[in-house]
Structure 1
């Protein structure tokens, strides 16, 4: 891909525009890369051999059919001579010209068999994505059984089933190569099917066939083409083998395998008759295989050979949600949210009784270490937790509509979530389809949820890109995600969420991996959108300073539950939970002593499958007692607007970075009532 080099315009900051395609499913090769491959020894050999084979297949029968079929009884089974370079056969026909003429039939039949194998493999490989889990498992099992058999054995079996002849051989080789291609397709489809843009298409109500043809297949086309090209060489060899055994092409037609079988009878007295078709098979097979390897090198793709339910575990008790101070009905209400996954010893509850609310125009931040359940909570609220995950809650409402009602999967629910809730993911490169232009991806939201036609939707997409400060929005809309820089992609992701009329934006680590300048631009953009349209914001972040400066309230999560909730202006000065204070202490500041090691929280976070009795933070807490290790503290109101789940909440300002943690009761004795 060509890389754009120009001076940044006003408003672009210091972002650079790259064409590396980082994060995409498969990188599309540019003209320079193709030229580089063609200039390499591998590329030159592949192109030269393939061109030779194709030219012989196209013009061989036209130029030499007469000489190849001419019978000369006076020159039977003669050896090589100036007149007959490879000698003659049992009827005096020139072997060399027969090999040239046989190129067309040999190549055409091999390509037909390859096409049949590819089409059948695609059907079998995409069946799990189209038919669903149950029927897909049956198809997958059939493919696994077929792959376990050697390809040659399958080809012989199908040759017997379909009968002797060219037609039967094509069917035999096609169906024999299909299982391997199906396995490859299944693997590639599964890798793309987990991408955020595919899951979003499912949530938006896009049909399975459209998701497959629009979002999945374009992103796996390159490796499939590479392996199909290489497979053509294998099909050519297999077809020649069947003809050699007498199961393929029958007289009076002939291909290289049949010529090889005829020449083998006189291999000791007349070796050239068998050598010529054998060399032709090798050259053509090399042509296809080297072409596949060259294409693989160019594109950088490796080739292949060959809903509401009861809680599963005893969760923490449901906690009351915070109500907006304005008295208005909150945009989002969550009570007793639970998310479970199957585990080796039973269900594993990763989110345990989370409760909170978000008012109109309010900004709520969620902080915590990795694995604390922040992103999973956001996915559950957005109905993006897929099987085998199980979502349950005492109450889960968005704009007054229950997300746990029996009709939650209907078109009305998809429209509500698609137009009123926007999700900004951590890595927009996995959320955008790398095979579609940015403008088309934004426009598709308006077409699906707002009923706009193609022209109106694209116009709305360009307008949204302008609103999120993407320069030259009309031109940018026609570009692919890899042509945007990291900050530009994040802005475009925000623009994607604004294609409807969102009431709530859930931003999951929107500034991760961005430099501080771009990070500030993205946060400022979210702030402007919130102020201008009264949009509520749920911001998930590891950065406590970002949350403290951006949000009105802060939720601190640990081990799948909320351990503290407080106003953001009190976060750095009045946090009461030891975990919150430990997080604050780990943040460096301008007065941090550079000669001392950075502060870390001792120990390791607990894993969802091994949550201990009592307070999950007790093993890492400097003030924990025996009571903390046996009784799990509820999330209680300590003062207006402030809730904390701790038996011994701390007082006073949080320890700055480098200072000692606050002292408190220690050992095994409970010193407070």
Structure 2
């Protein structure tokens, strides 16, 4: 970090403006001490005189030296500008972080107010607040501070939204970390640089705004004076002594340019893009509206869970508001997981695998809506919300996300991040929690765990980050590990190591595992049972040893056929599932796979098949389960439905 800030001062513009800012600050400190008496000395024999060797910028109506008054005015000008900047930053932070702290519904109202305020020009807002709070320095501070808060709040909202969607924030929520602590420990440190840049630019803007208000007579009042007040008084005698207005005007120009150009230098040095003087960080700022309630009944069938049942999910549904009504990417998913069981979930991207896992872990936020006839973890009803079961979710359920680089906070050491779980849920001291973190890193086979605990995520390799992610999950005593594509972007050797590690944890502690993957081969090797999802539904539930050769749903067989093996003809194109996955916003009537299925008929396109048992521990949602598929004679691919 210090190296990056030094890089700012190594540029010609950064060094020049840095020296200017430092000079203005030093002047504000020493000028009243050195020249305060001379600036306030009244000399009736030299009233309204022009520039001379004794008075470089002339005198005012009481014979006071304008040059020294311009130097002394630096303190009040700078103090008021900085106070207004701090006020704007604090109010902007409160407004910008409101959606994260108070929830999306109330936060949406705050966001709407900020959007309205941003639509008005800043100067117009400042004048409005100046009239509201009254003439004087206090009213001007409040006016300029509150006028600058909306633009700062908009920036904070955008940055917070980008960071809050990352995996390490989700991991903190699973661990039961409160919203305030997530904000202070995980969000703000990662958006600090653009906020510092914006605050630096805002200080220059506040300085100019204060001079403007005082020039208009709405700011500093006599006997106090700042640069704007001196400029106001100098304008009255500009035809007699132009230097009376030139001296404070030049001071405003130099100080304003120093702060603004230094802010631009900081932005470039830290790699922050500015547009119109405002730092811009790419983020997803799509607006979301409130969620609609699902129309189906959620009556609980109320049956006791078996003693070995870890997770029991019945009729799970996830919906999001859409332009034409609710979008349901997860539609009626039902499954259960027992102690020590490994359950695989496979399907193409967009089939609802990850959303199902996030819904179980209580990580779906508004405007998303989760509903289920039953959603029980270790006998506890999770439909009561994450707050009611924070301790349970933080210690007994572990989430392993697919991208370990975004699963950890890049500004915090690995040991501290793992220790957070033990501090919050196991009542350990900081020292005990760090010792536990080192032990868990050792348990997941991270070499030299004591040293590694003091390092940052970027100092870990991809495989070690994934092991550390698993180590975070086992900081408590989990009964269930949900691994969402944990081997993505890892080479095959590291993939096998991660899978072996998950298997050893299962064997040692009888932990249940839900492994989400698009790799059918991996799931078939690791899991006991496999759920195949398509268009938000489970279309087949079968033992893993029947996946290759015993699958009955055309979609499952197409997924298996698309995996090359040692017997694949390299002279032919690789087999693929024809067509495109269903858009969750436009799920067709009947079987969602019908448009891509070679066995589909009119009945399939009209009636959605239920998930029904067909024997041998297999359940299939298909009207033609197990029937022979149409294959292309040349490529061996699954043929399009329309060509069969």
Q: TM-score, normalised by structure 1?
A: 0.86
Residue 301 in structure 1 maps to residue 272 in structure 2: yes
Q: 1:475 to 1:153 in 2, by over 3 A?
A: same
Aligned to 2:339: 360
| Structure 2: 5+ residue stretches without partners | 279-290
1:107 positional shift? 0.8
From 589, 596, 612, the counterpart of 1:613? 589
For 1:111-130, what per-residue CA distance to the aligned partner results, in whole angstroms no more than 9, with x for missing partners? 11111222222233333433
Q: 1:452 to 1:250 in 2, by over 3 A?
A: same
Question: Is 352-361 or 46-55 further displaced after alignment?
Answer: 352-361
CA RMSD of aligned residues (A): 3.1
Q: Does the CA-based 8 Å contact 2:171-2:399 persist in structure 1?
A: no
Aligned to 2:194: 223
Aligned to 2:468: 492
How far apart are the structure 1 equivalents of 2:627 and 2:170?
A: 45
From 72, 75, 78, the counterpart of 1:107? 78
Aligned to 1:46: 17
1:591 positional shift? 4.0
From 325, 328, 339, the counterpart of 1:349? 328
Aligned to 1:183: 154
How far apart are the structure 2 equivalents of 1:248 and 1:429?
A: 50
Aligned to 2:311: 332
The residue correspondences of 1:74-113 to structure 2 (distance < 5 A) are: 74-113=45-84
From 613, 618, 622, the counterpart of 1:637? 613
1:664 positional shift? 12
Q: 1:222 to 1:354 in 2, by over 3 A?
A: same
1:77 positional shift? 3.7
1:576 positional shift? 2.2
Aligned to 2:36: 65
Q: 1:376 to 1:401 in 2, by over 3 A?
A: same
Secondary structure in 2 aligned to 1:331? strand
How far apart are the structure 2 equivalents of 1:315 and 1:401?
A: 21
How far apart are the structure 2 equivalents of 1:357 and 1:310?
A: 27
Q: 1:578 to 1:441 in 2, by over 3 A?
A: same
Q: 1:532 to 1:202 in 2, by over 3 A?
A: closer
How far apart are the structure 1 equivalents of 2:300 and 2:62?
A: 92
Residue 238 in structure 1 maps to residue 209 in structure 2: yes
How far apart are the structure 2 equivalents of 1:486 and 1:667?
A: 45
Q: Does the CA-based 8 Å contact 2:599-2:629 persist in structure 1?
A: no
Q: Does the CA-based 8 Å contact 1:335-1:394 persist in structure 2?
A: yes
How far apart are the structure 2 equivalents of 1:645 and 1:317?
A: 23
The residue correspondences of 1:24-43 to structure 2 (distance < 5 A) are: 30-43=1-14
Secondary structure in 2 aligned to 1:335? strand
For 1:495-540, what per-residue CA distance to the aligned partner results, in whole angstroms no more than 9, with x for missing partners? 1110111121110011112222222221121122112222121111
Question: Is 274-283 or 133-142 further displaced after alignment?
Answer: 133-142
Aligned to 2:139: 168
1:620 positional shift? 0.6
Q: 1:422 to 1:657 in 2, by over 3 A?
A: farther
1:477 positional shift? 1.7
Question: Is 610-619 or 145-154 further displaced after alignment?
Answer: 145-154
How far apart are the structure 2 equivalents of 1:159 and 1:465?
A: 58
For 1:435-487, what per-residue CA distance to the aligned partner results, in whole angstroms no more than 9, with x for missing partners? 33222221121122222222211211111011111222122222232332322
How far apart are the structure 1 equivalents of 2:599 and 2:74?
A: 83
1:410 positional shift? 5.5
Q: 1:154 to 1:479 in 2, by over 3 A?
A: same
Residue 427 in structure 1 maps to residue 409 in structure 2: no
Q: 1:369 to 1:298 in 2, by over 3 A?
A: same
For 1:115-169, what per-residue CA distance to the aligned partner results, in whole angstroms no more than 9, with x for missing partners? 1222222233333433334443443333333333322222223223333222222
Question: Is 383-392 or 505-514 further displaced after alignment?
Answer: 383-392
Aligned to 1:580: 556
From 502, 522, 547, the counterpart of 2:478? 502
How far apart are the structure 1 equivalents of 2:632 and 2:446?
A: 39
1:227 positional shift? 0.9
Q: TM-score, normalised by structure 2?
A: 0.89
Q: Does the CA-based 8 Å contact 1:88-1:273 persist in structure 2?
A: yes
Aligned to 1:261: 232
How many residue pairs get matched? 629
Q: 1:428 to 1:278 in 2, by over 3 A?
A: same
Q: Does the CA-based 8 Å contact 1:422-1:498 persist in structure 2?
A: yes
Q: Does the CA-based 8 Å contact 1:318-1:354 persist in structure 2?
A: no
Aligned to 2:368: 389
1:231 positional shift? 0.5
1:362 positional shift? 1.8
Secondary structure in 1 aligned to 2:525? helix
| Structure 1: 5+ residue stretches without partners | 1-29, 669-673
Q: Does the CA-based 8 Å contact 2:340-2:513 persist in structure 1?
A: yes
Residue 211 in structure 1 maps to residue 182 in structure 2: yes
For 1:296-331, what per-residue CA distance to the aligned partner results, in whole angstroms no more than 9, with x for missing partners? 22332344756xx99825699999x9x9xxx97332
Secondary structure in 1 aligned to 2:309? coil
1:653 positional shift? 11
Question: Is 168-177 or 417-426 further displaced after alignment?
Answer: 168-177
Q: 1:614 to 1:131 in 2, by over 3 A?
A: closer
Secondary structure in 2 aligned to 1:251? coil
Secondary structure in 1 aligned to 2:97? helix
Question: Is 210-219 or 498-507 further displaced after alignment?
Answer: 210-219
From 456, 464, 470, the counterpart of 2:440? 464
How far apart are the structure 2 equivalents of 1:127 and 1:419?
A: 28
How far apart are the structure 1 equivalents of 2:567 and 2:7?
A: 54
Q: 1:191 to 1:604 in 2, by over 3 A?
A: same
How far apart are the structure 2 equivalents of 1:311 and 1:92?
A: 76
